[in-house]
Amino acid sequence: MITVTDSLLPTPLGGTLINRVRPLHDASELRGLPTLELTDRAYADLELIATGAYSPLTGFLGEADYLAVIHTLRLDNGTPWSVPITLPIPREDARTYRGRVVLTRSGAPVGLLDVTEQYDARKALEAREVYRTEDAAHPGVAALYAAGDVNLAGDVTLFDVPRGAFPHHHRTPAEVRATIEARGWRSSVAFQTRNPIHRAHEYLQKVALELVDGLLLHPLVGTTKGDDVPADVRVRAYEVLLEKYYPHTRTLLSVYPAAMRYAGPREAILHALSRRNYGVTHFIVGRDHAGVGSYYGTYDAQEIFSAYTREELGVQILKFEHTFYCRTCGQLVSPRTCPHDAAHHLVLSGTKVREKLRAGEHLPAEFTRPEVAEVLRDAYLAAGD
């Protein structure tokens, strides 16, 4: 094992990797305190704040930071930040939550919130500015509208890191950083995905691997919309793909516990900044990153990074165009390298892929590796039983 004494990893956003994980040694400390049951997203946000993935945040945003993020893509002190990380509650419950609050999941205590502020959520404003639409058909906007009207703010404590369904792949930012340093990677690139990897994704990752020492395959495994492929199926697909087609010493599969917000360009920034906190030097942004439907332009998620300087971001953004298989070229290409029109291209929509899987059909090898296709087909057939 290689030991790196002088870290070459980027400094966490804000200069320090936040750590607000504190074991609960005496449950009697919680006696008499109000309890707040967390949603899936809020629990994911709690973990990401407490483990430093959302450094420099130490808790859920107060009103000044909330409004600054919405209007300026920065915290109130000027630090880059793009998506409000808030804890909304129903207005009628606001009086209950003063001072210290016990955060629970399925009734069990998982952390604490020291409430310092309560303020009204500006839902219409947040929808317009963050999601670029007030359409309730947008899953992120729908979640925003369904949440409470009052945001609680304050520092958090997490009692224990929830390793969840993927304990062997669930690493905190500090643990990912330690692994990168132990492997001696002087540079590394992260790839965010909420979908199974097909050949176009593989192409982008391997092009990036020609430029850097290591790849952090960092799939999002938090809450997604109902028609997305389930996280356990996706992780199994990643495992079989990495086992056979990637250099083991230059790749690391580690899950990213965030929930999807489908905020497109704004979420691309959040994904990049949090991967900086995990210790990578580069981050891949492809077409319609974190998008849904037709709410965002194909490359809006790339263009938005011009709001910051390279030094502010602290991570280099690798921008790739749409990649696909060209039957005439006989290989994976992009509009930059292929002279042929769409009639020559093999492009399968998510809907078409799901239709083929439900019908028990095989996906073309030009679209995805046979081993990945088999994992997906088996899962869809089992779900149909």
Q: Which residues are annotated as catalytic? A: 194-195
Number of neighbours of residue 77 by Cβ within 10 angstroms = 11
Strands 87-89 and 150-158: antiparallel
What are the C-alpha distances in Å from 61 to residues 64, 194, 284? 8, 26, 27
Closest CA to 305 of 44, 49, 136, 82: 82
CB 212 within 8 A of CB 187: yes
What secondary structure letter does DSSP report for 128?
A: I
Length in residues, the chain: 385
What's the rounded Cα separation, in Å, for the pair 269 and 129?
14
Residue 256's φ and ψ, nearest 5 degrees, are -110, 110
Helix, strand or coil, per DSSP, at residue 310 = helix
Q: Which of 360, 272, 267 is nearest to 313 (CA)?
A: 272
